[in-house]
Structure formats: structure tokens, C-alpha cells
Amino acid sequence: MSKKILANDGIDAVGQQMLEQAGFTVVTEKVAQENLAKELNDKGYIALTVRSATKVRKDLIDVCPNLKVIGRGGVGMDNIDVDYARSKNIQVINTPAASSNAVAELVFAHLFNAVRFLYDSNRQMPANGLDKFDDLKKKYAKGIELKDKTIGIIGFGRIGQQVAKIALGCGMKVLAFDPFVKEAKLHLDIHGLANAEVTVPTVSIDDVYAKSDFITVHVPGGKLITETEIAKMKNGVILINTARGGVIDEVALVNGLNSKKIAHVCLDVFENEPKPSETLLHHAQISLTPHIGAATNEAQERIGVELAEKIIAALK
């Protein structure tokens, strides 16, 4: 049996090394989507790993009978027809644990950026810092602190819980909602302090909407927040989406910003990736990153290791 694996969206060197030491040949050269089926069949690949760029749909699965494993480097698998693949006896795996801290830290990178206007001041200072320093100082003088504010976390799995840990470390109040989690016991990774634990009970989603100063979403997909949900929120709320494009309706977001109901929006994901709405890209009250939630060196190494371990186990 062939032991070839195509890592079409790349894999960290440590994970690649683990696979090669286990006897697999790992190819990381990118194959265009339209050529993928032919390449998989012609070269006899038995496993394919992807991130968010490569799509693995029913039509590809149907014409690749040698495929035994599809691996997703990351959490969400909306670019893979998971149930259909499994119905064809193809194992589908992902790496839910590896990127939690990276995504959680990006949430706070966005939050600190928003409350101190860094997204705007970093643009204005190079252009106007010499001539209008005092004007800019006045413009950005009404920042707020995160301490003692309330963060609402919708989706309280691994990533949501990691967000809560950082929030607690910043002195914030945490309101979490998850229909599948009654409470979470969080181990706080505080250097010099052993066995620091706190139990966070979940609340109703309406409590999250009504009482949160900031709301961050960590769910696998669906249109969760629309005009109806935004109407339930505090005036001046800040929303963060590092989960999936469309979880917060983009039209409703812009309407909420323009009406001043929402003070600011932080987006790492978009409905129409890789061609986000120009309205979002140019809105003065939106700060943006190009889907980099898991894009840290440390997370990519953890993803590669977790992928390698699971592929080796699946193909034993």
C-alpha cells in the first residue's frame, strides 16, 4: 500500500518529521484545487491534509478511491464534506486542541487594539504625527480599560475557555453561554502560582447579550447574531469574531455600527473569504486581520504534531 501524504496547505516541520519517521512520504508542494483529484490519483496518495484554503467536497471524494484519511489542520471543518467522507469509510480528523491559545490571544490583541484606538492611531501617526500630534493626542484620549468590564463568550469549548482565562487574568468579569456546557473548571496558568482554579458557570444567551461590554463568538458556524440579537445588546458594545465568517451577520454589523448601537467590531473572518466585503474593509469602526487566528509559530507546531499523531494512529 502507498504511504504518501499530500499536505496541500502545508504542515509544520516537526509534524512532517514525525510522519516521515513513521515511514510516510510527505509532499508539501501546493496543488491547485482544479488539479487536486488527478494529482491524488496519479500519485497514489492515501492521506490529504488541508487548512482552510483547500476544499474537500463530495465530487473530489467520489473520484479518489485511494484516500483513507483527510486531516484538517485547525478546528473548523466547513471546507470538508465530513459526513459524506465518513460514509465512504474515509477517516476525517482535525486538531481542536492545538490552536486554542493562539485564537484566544488574538481576541485580546483585537480588544486592546479597539479600546485604545490603535487600529486608527497606527494609520494616522505616520501621516499626521508631525503636524497634528496634539490633535491626535486629544482624538485618542478617551480609551477605556478592560479591567472590571464584562466579556460575553458565546461558545465555551476549548477556545472560549482559554479566552475566559485571559479575561480573568485581566481582572474582567466573564459571562459564558454554551448549550452543552453547564460549567467549566478552568486551570489558570499563572507562573509562580500552582493549582489556581476557578469554576465558571454558564448563563443564558440573553444574559450575555444584555450584560456584556464585549462579546466574542467561538462557535463552528451558522448565522448566530442578526439584527434581532444586536438589538438585545448594550449600547456601545464591541463585537469580536475570530470563529467563522457569517456567524455575525455582516449587514447587521454595519447597520449596528452606523446607528451607534455597536461601538466597534473586530473581525478575523469573513463571509466571502478570500474576497471580503469592501464595506467592511473600509469602515472606520472595524479593525481587521486576514484569518490569522491560528497563525502563530507555536500553534502551527502543535497543529502539525497533533495531525501527525492522529494520521499515524489512523493508518496503523
Q: How confident is the model at residue 190 (pLDDT cuts 50, 70, 90)?
A: confident
Cβ contacts of 31 within 8 Å, gap of 6 or more? 6, 8, 39
Fold match between domain 4-98+297-314 and domain 100-288 = yes
Asked whether the predicted pLDDT for residue 1 surpasses 70, the reply is no
Contacts 24+ apart (CB under 8 A), 248-257: 248/217, 248/224, 249/223, 249/225, 250/277, 250/279, 250/280, 252/225, 252/226, 252/227, 253/280, 253/286, 254/279, 254/280, 254/283, 255/227, 256/227, 256/230, 257/283, 257/285, 257/286
Domain 100-288, second-level architecture? 3-Layer(aba) Sandwich (3.40)
* The pLDDT value given to residue 99: 93
Residues that are catalytic? 244, 273, 291
Average pLDDT score over the chain? 96
Domain boundaries of the chain, sorted by first residue: 4-98+297-314, 100-288
User: Can you tell me the mean pLDDT for 94-122?
Assistant: 96
Write out the E strands in the chain.
4-7, 25-27, 45-50, 69-72, 91-94, 150-154, 173-177, 183-187, 197-201, 214-217, 237-241, 262-267, 286-288
**The overall pTM is greater than 0.95:** no
Write out the E strands in 155-258.
173-177, 183-187, 197-201, 214-217, 237-241
Q: Does domain 4-98+297-314 correspond to CATH entry 3.30.499.10? A: no
Strands 214-217 and 237-241: parallel
d(CA 271, CA 276) in angstroms, rounded, equals: 7
